[in-house]
Structure 1
Amino acid sequence: MMALMAKKSPQRSFNDVLSVLGSQRFDVAPAQDGAKRTPNAFQVRKYGCAAEIAAAPDGTPEILSRPGVLLNGEIARLVDRGYQKFFKTSKVEIPATADHLRSLHEFSEELKEALGATSLYNESLGTTSDVYQYDRVKGRK
């Protein structure tokens, strides 16, 4: 029986990744607040979603912030409360819709492919959350 392996694209340099992203109709622009943390950081946008990337010391790309939906110019984190998923920024929290989740999933998969990153089986099945906060265990240690 053959074991399932993670799908991995060839490793690319950061400059190659920027070219690939541009050719695949991603909007690539210098990250405004990311530049304070990491020089030469870029925000990558498509389908109403975004992530920040930069060059690692070895010249390969690295993701600085997980992909999320853009809300008021800020990348929202996906939070799972058990009964509902939400997108949360520092200022606002909204319920995640099926359209949001499809867009985020498609964006994440296309970004991973462009970066040459490993595509994990469980993430390929659907959208995974950044945080899991179940109300029935809230306040428990």
Structure 2
Amino acid sequence: MAKKKTEQRTFDDVISLLGKERFDVVRASEGATKGTAYRVTKYGCAAEIAKDTDGTVEITHRAGFLLNGQIATILDRGYQKFLKTPKLEIAATADHLRSIHHFSEEFKEATGSMSLYNESLGTTSDKYMYDRVQGRE
């Protein structure tokens, strides 16, 4: 069986495809260190992308739920997941996590990013901070 080769999409192709898939795409006020970043939003979630030097897409900020205009990361404390920005932290609800998962799957499909098996099963956390292992190496 031949290995399936994935086609890398150009940045312009991705921007066009995101618009067709009803994502909102605007210039990001903060974000990428390389060039100009664009914020992609849908379902109350967002990610940021920029044009890489080879003309493809660079994801400069991973997908997360929007809280007060900032993209929150998912913090897992073992007993509960939280949405965290530099100024705010709230408990993540099932609706938050479903929105992030739905957004991430559509975003990866549009950008041509690799979809990993464990991520397709549900939302994965950005950071794990279990109380019972705190302080251990």
Give the TM-score, by structure 1 length.
0.91
Q: Residue type of the partner of 2:41? A: R
Deviation at 1:8, TM superposition (A): 7.5
Tell me if the contact between 1:8 and 1:119 (Cα under 8 Å) persists in the aligned partners. no
Task: After TM superposition, give the deviation of residue 73 of structure 1 in Å.
Answer: 0.4
CA RMSD between the two structures: 1.7
User: Could you list the per-position Cα deviations for residues 26-70 of structure 1 after superposition, in whole angstroms to 9, with x for gaps in the alignment?
Assistant: 0100010115x2322100000000001011111010111110000
Secondary structure of 1:34's partner? coil
Identify unmatched segments of 5+ residues in structure 2: none
Describe the SS at the equivalent of 1:66.
strand
CA-CA distance at 1:101 after TM superposition: 0.4
5+ long unaligned stretches in structure 1: none
Query: Percent of aligned positions with the same letter in both sequences?
Result: 66
Structure 1 moving runs of 4+ over 4 Å:
none
Specify the alignment match of 2:118 in structure 1: 122
Q: Report the number of matched residues.
A: 136
Once residues 58 and 9 of structure 1 are traced to their aligned partners in structure 2, the CA distance between those partners, rounded to angstroms, is 16
In structure 2, C-alpha distance between the alignment counterparts of 1:9 and 1:110, rounded to whole Å:
17
Q: Describe the shift of the 1:73–1:8 C-alpha distance in structure 2 as closer, same or farther (beyond 3 A).
A: farther
Q: Where does residue 10 of structure 2 map in the other structure?
A: 13
CA drift at 1:140: 2.6
Other structure's SS at 1:109 match: helix
CA contact (8 A) 2:35 2:51 kept: no
| Aligned residue runs from structure 1 range 1-141, under 5 A | 10-34=7-31, 37-141=33-137
Separation of aligned partners in 2, 1:84 and 1:56: 36
- Structure 2: which amino acid aligns with 1:40? T
Higher relative contact order (CA 8 A, sep 6+): 1
Change (3 A) 1:81 1:115: same
